[in-house]
Amino acid sequence: MITLVVNGKRRELAAETDLPSFLGELQIDPRAVAVAHNGEIVPRDRYSTIRLREGDTLEIVRMVGGG
């Protein structure tokens, strides 16, 4: 079991996982969000290189259209 903070809230995962799998579990389309991992914005083409580990922090921001 690992613990991380997602958008300011503590969340537990069964084990370390990669970012795309985690977004999939949350039913989030990776094309529709921006992600910061441990304070650094992650380019979409690097999502698959991010492994979520104990103590990590994520900020996930959904894109919203409008004017």
DSSP assignment string, the chain: -EEEEETTEEEEESS-EEHHHHHHHTT--GGGEEEEETTEEEPGGGGGG-EE-TT-EEEEEE-----
CATH class of 2-62: alpha beta
> In the structure, what pLDDT confidence band is assigned to residue 63 with cuts at 50, 70 and 90?
confident
pLDDT value at position 67? 64
The pTM assigned to this predicted structure is 0.88
Residue with tokens 């977004």: 23
> In the structure, what pLDDT confidence band is assigned to residue 66 with cuts at 50, 70 and 90?
confident
54 and 36 Cβ atoms separated by less than 8 Å: no
For 15-42, how does the pLDDT look when each residue is reduced to its tens digit (9 = 90+)?
A: 999 999 999 999 999 999 999 999 999 9
The ranges assigned to domains in the chain are 2-62
Per-chain mean pLDDT for the chain: 94
